[in-house]
Every structure is written in structure tokens, then in C-alpha cells.
Copies of this chain bind each other. A is one copy, B any other.
Amino acid sequence: MTEAPRFLRPVKAPAANVGKAVTFDTPLPLDCGRSLAPFTVAYMTYGALNADKSNAVLICHALTGDQFVASDHPITGKPGWWTTMVGPGKPIDTDRFFVICANVIGGCMGSTGPAETDPATGQPFGLNFPLVTIRDMVRAQKRLVDHLGIEKLLAVVGGSMGGMQALQWAASYPESLRAVVPIACAARHSAQNIAFHEVGRQAIMADPDWRGGEYQLHGTRPAKGLAVARMAAHITYVSEMALQNKFGRNLQNRDAKSFQFTPDFQIESYLHHQGASFVDRFDANSYLYITRAMDYFDLAEEHGGLLSEVFRVNAARFCIVSFSSDWLFPPFENKRIAHALNAVAAQVSFVEISSDKGHDAFLLDEPEMFATVRGFLNHAASDLI
């Protein structure tokens, strides 16, 4: 029998529930100069890998996503976050494709992150966890793909931060993929987006229950701060018009204003719900680390600011998808990627889908997105499977 742990378990699924997991002993070098060893990548797969291993599609998740792209979430019990896109007969068809989705390092669903135990101390990493980048996340995924014996992915697909990872895959491992589908993302995080992230981090770190990041040792959780961070972020995921159409100035379960500070408006109750349900499934330190990884993302940076140089050696096909009302990653940011690819004569298609759903459209029922991704993947796979 082992001793009871001295610290509170992080907010994450019990180890048995994170799906598959592989632990690597060879260190993972990180952009910050440090390395992680050992490190674990938790992941899920759907469908079957074909004999020549040519039908693998890697899906990269967004900031608060995880590996449960097409199966029930072990904490919330809710369906996977992209069941409209991924599954038998769906645009990313698991009857044809072998779909892999891994929790990012720095995350809190089984991959090594700040809530896990630091082998050097036997304590949770907390802020001793190294700051990871989008490229580091992709490095860890490459280890997983190698581990699965896949030499060349059919495609890497992702929305939001998942789209950043898809772009990074094309930049870091151009020989290891045939197609790339970055959706609702950018090649760099904007000043406004960094600003919103910093507000969220400050809200978490202002919560005394955060305890300098060592809340697990103290048996506390910075739930209020994390909820405020989520509420602020959530506003950026939806369009002004969507909020106005859905909630407007409607009151919540009352006929008249209360003249108090309790939530009077439906939009307030909705935001409170977003905040409260988030803290039940997400680790606050992971939120700090992953937002920072997004802030640091600037694909052109190593190429003298010339985004097209990133893709000069690329033989992959690209399909860039954006949404008209997305103000977190506006169409012009997505278009910038397409222009850079055009400049080096890469194979690229760009679509701006008309939607009033804002950034979250990529997670919702958007038939034009489904048709675009389905057609693009089928074309990419046509001479292979």
C-alpha cells in the first residue's frame, strides 16, 4: 500500500479515466532551455490505423479542450467537444481515418502539466513547471506520433489554439504531414488577445486561494479567480450580435430589475454558469501556462518576421478556415496565413464562413465548415486510402 498523498489532487480526471497514455523517459527539450523527463502524453484514438499507416489525422485541441474530441468527457459526462466534426460518417470520418487527439503538455487531463508531481521533489510542479510553448506542445505530440509508428500524418487539424498547433506542425515537421487545416486561428497572438489573457491570469493570481501557485499543497483552489478569468474569456468567444440575439437585455427568472447586485440579466446568469462549470473541470495553473503559450506564439518570429519563410519548404496542402464574426481571431489574421502561403506558392485554400456565432463557431453546427473540411480531407486522401 502506498502512502496517502500529502497534497490535494489537481482538478483532473482520475488517472484511469484519461484514456490512453504513454510516458517517455527521453527528455523533451523545451524552448525555455529546460527539458521535461519523464513526461506523459495522454491521448485518445478513434477508428483504426490502416496497414500502411497513411490514414492518421491528428486533431489539436484549443485552450481549454482535451483529448476527448469524440467521446464523453470523464469529469463532466458531456459528449466530446467536436462530435459534430469527428465520428463515423462525420466530416473527419472515423470509419476511414485513424483519429488521434492528445492532451497538450501543460494541460490537466493526464499529460504532464503543472498539477502533476515533479519527480525531483515529489510535490506538484506548480510554478516550478517550465513555461511551455506551442512548439513544445507539438514536439511532445511528435513523440506520440512516432511512438504510434506513424511516419507521415494524413492531416493535422485544429481550431483556435489547435490551429496554432497545426501551423506549428507544418513549420516544425513539414515532412511529417500531407495536409494542414488551421481553423479560426492566427500565426501570432495579437496585443488585444495578450491583454485579455493577462486579465485572466491576474484574476487567478489575485485569488488568495491561488497561494503563489501552491494551492494543491494548501488544500485550496482559486475557484473565484479562475471563474472570473473564464467569464472574461468567454465574452471573447462569442460575437456581440450572438449575445444580443440570444440574451439581449432579457431578465433571468424575474419580471423586474432587483435593484441589487445579484444577476438580473440572463447574460449574467449565463456567464456565471460558464465560470462555475469551468472551475470544476480545469486546473488554474494549467490555465496560466496555456494562455502564456498562446501569448508567446508568433510563427514568423524566428524567420525575421517573414511568415512566408516559415512555409518555404512545405509540400503540404493547407485549408485555412475563418469565421466572419470571429473577433478573437478575425478573418484578416487567418487571411494573413493564406497570403504567406501564396507567397511561396504553397497549395492553399482559404474560406471565410459567414456566421454570427463568433470565435466559438468552430465548435458549433456550421455546415459550410463541415463540407469544407470533409471535401478537403477526402481530396488529400484520394490517392492514399
Partner-B contacts on A (CB < 8 A): 31-33, 127, 130-131, 188-192, 194-196, 198-199, 201-203, 205-208, 224-225, 227-228, 231-232, 235, 240, 243-244, 246-249, 257, 259-261, 263-265, 267-268, 271-272, 275, 288, 292, 295-296, 298, 327, 330
In the complex the two chains form, is B298's CB within 8 Å of A194's CB?
no
Q: With A249-B191, A271-B195 as known contacts, state yes or no: A231 contacts B207, CB within 8 Å.
A: no
In the complex the two chains form, is B199's CB within 8 Å of A232's CB?
yes
* Whole-angstrom distance between the Cβ of A326 and the nearest chain B Cβ: 12
**Chain B residues within an 8 Å CB radius of A235:** 192, 195-196, 199
In the complex the two chains form, is B228's CB within 8 Å of A295's CB?
no
Closest B residue by C-beta to A127 = B261
What is the copy number of this chain in the assembly? Answer: 2
A-B contact pairs, 23 of them (CB 8 A): A33-B259, A130-B259, A131-B261, A188-B249, A191-B247, A191-B265, A192-B267, A194-B268, A195-B235, A195-B267, A195-B268, A198-B231, A198-B265, A199-B271, A201-B261, A202-B228, A202-B275, A203-B228, A206-B206, A206-B228, A228-B228, A232-B232, A257-B296
Bound-state CA distance A243–B198 (Å) is 14
**Chain B residues within an 8 Å CB radius of A244:** 190-192
Residue of B190, B228, B243 near A199 (CB, 8 A) is: B228
In the complex the two chains form, is A32's CB within 8 Å of B259's CB?
yes
Closest B residue by C-beta to A266 = B191
7 closest Cβ contacts across the A-B interface?
A: A206-B224, A32-B259, A191-B243, A131-B259, A191-B267, A191-B247, A192-B240
In the complex the two chains form, is B198's CB within 8 Å of A249's CB?
no
* Whole-angstrom distance between the Cβ of A170 and the nearest chain B Cβ: 21
In the complex the two chains form, is A131's CB within 8 Å of B260's CB?
yes
Bound-state CA distance A127–B244 (Å) is 30
Bound-state CA distance A173–B196 (Å) is 41
Bound-state CA distance A295–B35 (Å) is 49
Most buried by B among A130, A232, A235, A264: A232
Closest B residue by C-beta to A205 = B261
Most buried by B among A198, A227, A257: A198
* Whole-angstrom distance between the Cβ of A237 and the nearest chain B Cβ: 11
**Chain B residues within an 8 Å CB radius of A298:** 249
Bound-state CA distance A192–B275 (Å) is 16
Residue of B188, B240, B249 near A189 (CB, 8 A) is: B249
* Whole-angstrom distance between the Cβ of A126 and the nearest chain B Cβ: 12
In the complex the two chains form, is B190's CB within 8 Å of A202's CB?
no
In the complex the two chains form, is A292's CB within 8 Å of B228's CB?
no
**Chain B residues within an 8 Å CB radius of A231:** 195, 198-199, 202
**Chain B residues within an 8 Å CB radius of A259:** 31-33, 130-131
In the complex the two chains form, is B208's CB within 8 Å of A208's CB?
yes
Bound-state CA distance A260–B31 (Å) is 12
